[in-house]
Amino acid sequence: MYLQSRRTFLKGAAFSVAGVAIARGVFSTDAIAQSVTESKFTNTPDNIAFYPEHKDWDNFQELDGTDWKRGGIGRHGVKSAENPNGIEVNNFMLVPTVCSNCEAGCGLTAWVNKDTMTVRKYMGNPLHTGSRGRNCAKGYAVTSQMYDPDRIPFPLKRAPGSKRGEGKWVRVTWDEAMSEIGKKMHDTLKVGDEMSKKLMMYHVGRPNENGFGHRVPHTMGIDGFNSHTNICSAGARQGSIQWANDDRNSPDWGNADLIFLQSSHAADAGHYFQQSAGLIADARKRGAKMVVLDPRMSNSAGMADLWIPAWPGTETALYLYLANRVLNEKDKNGENFVAHDFVKEWLNWDRLMDNKDYLQKMVGYGYISKMPTGDTYEDFIKLAQELYAPYTKEFVVKECKLEGMEHKLDALWEMYIDAGDKIATYLWRSGPIANRGGWMITRAGFLTLALRGALRGDIGGTSWHHWHELSVAGKGDKATVAGEAAPKVDVWNEIAWPPEFPLSTYEMSHIMPHLLMDDAWQEKWIAKGLNVPRKLAVWFPRMYNPVWINPDGFRWIEALKDEKRIEMSFNLSPTWSETNWYCDYILPTGLSGERNDQQSTPSKPEQRIEFRQAVLRVAAEKMGWKAKNPARATLEAHMKYGLGEIWEETEFWANIMVHHIDPDGSLGIRKFWASKKDPSRAVTVPEYFDAALSLLPRLKETAQRMYKNDEFPVYSYLRDHGAWTEKTNVYKPQEEELEFDGETYIAEGKKYSKEQVVKDKFGTLWIEADGIKKSIGIEINGKLHEGFHTLSKKLEFFSEWFAEWKWPEYAIPIYPRNESEYKKMEHVVTHIHHSMMKAPNEFALNTVFRLPYNIHTRSVNSKHLMEISQNHNPVWIYTKDAEKLGIKRGDAIRVNITDTVSELESGYFVAMAVPTEATRPGVLACSHHAGRWKLKDSVNIPGFEHALGIMGVGAPRYEMTNDGKVGTLKPVAGIKPRHDVWQFKEYNKDLDNIWWDGLSGSWQNAVAPSHPDPIAGNHAWNHKVIIEKAKAGDKIGDIVVNYENNMKIFQAWRDKLTRPLAVGDTLRRPQHIGRPAVPLSNKAYAVEIKA
């Protein structure tokens, strides 16, 4: 009605109610002015990133935040005995800590009110050079996690006589729990044979610390670590390992000219969101371009210079297309676009050209037409030109299904070339984890960077995380009686690392229950001579919730309920979770401000650590409080200051090891956890971390200077500052000179005499230690360099070891060049390839994108995060696809998951469809990070007056059925207003105002079968799905799962696609890539497979 005549508005005079009655009436004139000239408080902070100076952190006064809305002190003055209506003043101590809600590890400060000894708020830590005083929503939400009304207040034990999953619990003390658990672990280890070292599994969710968790099984001498990584990011890591024997790359976002994101991860929600996003924003402000390659238009894609929605899993083709153009096109000077100086020196083309057998294989595969005529660099370039020539624009348009978007490829090429070697990327989840063969996406992606010199790790380019990260959390040995690290572990656990997956990037965690329940598989490998565990004596996850977040949740439930397969289980868990429901003990542990961890995140080219600490303990100790037992100070502080019987792993493990698992030292474990200072007790947090952190020389020197009178100066420094940057501007680290004085080489702190070192014809320097050949550096053009972490010390375009380990056809970046090669090269073709979609209602389901405000299990009951995320996980469907199928916004649809390897059906979930242009045609999107559930609203604990609420603001209540074959879940009730808060009332006054009858999404993970990638081992998260409109009686949130089929699907992937260890193999896995958690001995690696 734009520009109505004034006359129209005159109807306003005839309202039936006068304006004064309609208006809210928020103005008043009865100001109680009070002079504030004497006050030190100002009305408004100077800027939003306001932090007091560090010298004031121990004692800082600030007006109460809730009173600002009353108008500041200008209205009511400062509260005092004479002025009770004034604004309250908080006497704060700022205690630095680190957020634990995601892997980014952003700095936090806990603002502890010294009068009440409560944390009033969490803000950032300006001393943390990665997060720079900033946090995302999850950081600020830590307060609501800490004072969660449903926080588990004390250890719980499954009620005697009840079955797992019945939901009957009794209260126990930490000492009772430690005594019972410790005895079971002691008795298991006491047997002392090989099997006894395979029967316990420490299953760690997102660790957010650097090495302490590994120390737990390591010191027990067991191969018993399992991680979440194979459902997280292992696909990408596989590609990084092949290129650089490094776990992941590490970009210099802030100085890049092109921000290249495959998926939205770094800028939207994932590794290392907030820190990366800030640096990316800095770069873009400076003029950097941003490209997002993602089938879904994420927040990042929406604001990028270019969004390329390639079909998921086909991105390899796009990268090889860029490689083709770099190699075969000419610039204005008639030269191709290869950064020859870098490629010639730092890629292992020389080993490829020297390996005639392999070159012959390449001819056989049809990769090249004939053997190269020579083995020079120029011959290599010619070979590469031929190798990648098939990946033309026409090919990539068809393969990535970019018809009509050809212009985007031209735009990409221009941005990519214009940026030179200043291209920053972080190839991580999304494609590499979601698709079979996704690791090859990383192989191909890094090729494009390498060819342009962007992998040199120079300013604005991309390097490797090893150089930007400091891991010392597992190295506090000097504070213990042992004084040194535990020896390598001598056994190999087939449940963690089965023989079908020798090259798996991480432990095969997502098929742990499947392997435990697969008798035929166990018997097969026992017959072949392996000592395969057939049960676990103790399974103990830490902040991990596999029942919900792993694929095939009903299989997890089956395994966890089976007391013969898993004899005892306990979860070190800060929140209620679906997994807790099926454990024997729930041991409530701390969140961001309640733990003691060293973390280090490679978010920029520097070496930095952050120190997470139990802030109430620290505040109390700085105010003079002393724990009765210094080795349990955190637990004591939490109990004394009203948080509850909340503990954390550093003190827990030290205590249970010293007093329960190995009380008399007979197992050889106690010495690694008993205090050197007082061997009668466990090591303390200050003792342990002072020893560990003292391994950083600059930190040690600074701390000893600043805290010269302290017993633990390095600990004191981190206690007060929360973060430390050991080194900045870490660029081109592979070019660092290898120390050699004519007689002795020094590599990674170790000395080697020149007689020990052998130089091969490629310039690589080798030593032999413990029966293993190891490279220590490389000579290039007469100069000695430390080199990359690979055996060749160069970036490995050609992964020689990978070829030897049964996969020669994929030992270079490669992808099928036509349809006839799809089947032959199926290991690197996504299982949701567009050629597999036959009918209009068949789609690829893109599940791998994080919601920026949720982080798997631990944020489940943060009321603020859940409030903004509830009902935010619909199924995105391209508008025209929806039109064809008659699907409208808000319609409930059944999403049937089907497997393209076994052709079996898994069942379906019902979700809400949202037609949108923000997902590409043929590809649905529905994040697998939502869909929490609970079976009861609360539990009553005998002898405790209050019912314990279960995820009361985080998960709707469902009904479940499962009979061993088919499982169902149906939503029953949403979140209701709460009037029953009995703990942390001050923080939860608004619970009566929180309700929602919608869901947080469907539990699609349970429908999903495990898809173990045959090489990288990771679960390939995407699915082929067939959609249909919901049927009568269906409700959004319903799931029906044929988990008997899911077992067969997993078996099909395992048995049809892998190349297992076989007769003649002598090693479990290449030793130079190692195992990620616990160091294993040669004995553990050795294997003999019987016919």
Partner 1 sequence: MQDDLKTEQLARVNIYALVSRILMSEVDETLLNLIITDENILSFFPSFEKWDKRKNMSNKDLIEKQLNVDFTNLFLLHLIPYESFYLREDQQMETGGDNPVQALYSNFDFIVELDKARVMSADHIGIELEFMHMLCESEFKALQDGEDKIAGEIAEIQYNFLKEHLLEWAPMFLLNVKSEAGTALYFDAADLALEFMLSDFEYLTALKENGYNYPKGDA
Which residues contribute to the site for partner 1 (CB under 8 A)?
1-4, 6, 9-20, 22-31, 42-45, 47-48, 68-72, 74-75, 868
DSSP label at residue 562: -
CB of 77 vs partner 1, minimal distance in Å = 13
CB of 640 vs partner 1, minimal distance in Å = 34
Which of 250/870 has CB closer to partner 1?
870
Please provide the size of the chain in residues.
Answer: 1091
Sheet strands side by side (includes 758-759): 758-759, 764-769, 772-780, 783-785
CB of 142 vs partner 1, minimal distance in Å = 20
Which of 10/839 has CB closer to partner 1?
10
Sheet strands side by side (includes 169-171): 169-171, 156-158, 585-588, 566-573, 536-542, 200-204, 225-227
Structure token digits, residue 99: 């957020």
Which of 43/1082 has CB closer to partner 1?
43
CB of 1087 vs partner 1, minimal distance in Å = 56
CB of 282 vs partner 1, minimal distance in Å = 15
Burial 710-722 (b: 16+ CB within 10 A, else e): bebbbbbbbbbbb
CB of 41 vs partner 1, minimal distance in Å = 10
Angle between helices 315-328 and 439-451 (to 10 degrees): 20
Which of 659/864 has CB closer to partner 1?
864
Helices (H), 870-981: 879-885
Which of 87/1061 has CB closer to partner 1?
87
Q: Which helix (H) or strand (E) holds 286?
A: helix 275-286
CB of 1026 vs partner 1, minimal distance in Å = 31
Query: Count of alpha carbons within 13 Å of 49, Cβ hemisphere only?
Result: 9
843 contact partners, CB below 8 Å, separation of at least 6: 837, 877, 881, 922, 923, 924, 1024, 1025, 1026, 1027
Q: Is 411 helix (H, G, I), strand (E, B) or coil?
A: helix
CB of 872 vs partner 1, minimal distance in Å = 11
Which of 24/761 has CB closer to partner 1?
24
Which of 27/333 has CB closer to partner 1?
27
Cα–Cα distance list, 295 to 237, 341, 647, 918 (Å): 21, 35, 43, 8
Which of 5/781 has CB closer to partner 1?
5
Q: Is 105 helix (H, G, I), strand (E, B) or coil?
A: coil
Cα–Cα distance list, 728 to 426, 602, 663, 695, 1072 (Å): 20, 12, 44, 17, 29
CB of 1 vs partner 1, minimal distance in Å = 6
Which of 29/820 has CB closer to partner 1?
29
CB of 23 vs partner 1, minimal distance in Å = 4
Strand partners, 176: none
Q: Is 398 helix (H, G, I), strand (E, B) or coil?
A: helix
63 contact partners, CB below 8 Å, separation of at least 6: 41, 72, 73, 78, 87, 88, 89, 90
Which of 12/404 has CB closer to partner 1?
12
378 contact partners, CB below 8 Å, separation of at least 6: none
CB of 930 vs partner 1, minimal distance in Å = 18
Which of 75/727 has CB closer to partner 1?
75
Q: Which helix (H) or strand (E) holds 767?
A: strand 764-769
Sheet strands side by side (includes 107-113): 60-63, 89-98, 107-113, 118-124
Strand partners, 203: 226, 541
Which of 47/781 has CB closer to partner 1?
47
Which of 71/487 has CB closer to partner 1?
71
Which of 71/483 has CB closer to partner 1?
71
CB of 997 vs partner 1, minimal distance in Å = 9
CB of 83 vs partner 1, minimal distance in Å = 18
CA dihedral angle for residue 64, residue 69, residue 70, residue 74, rounded to 10 degrees: 80
CB of 66 vs partner 1, minimal distance in Å = 9
Round to whole Å and give the CA distance between 747 and 774: 11
Contact 479, 714 (CB under 8 A): no
Determine the longest span between alpha carbons in the chain, in angstroms.
102
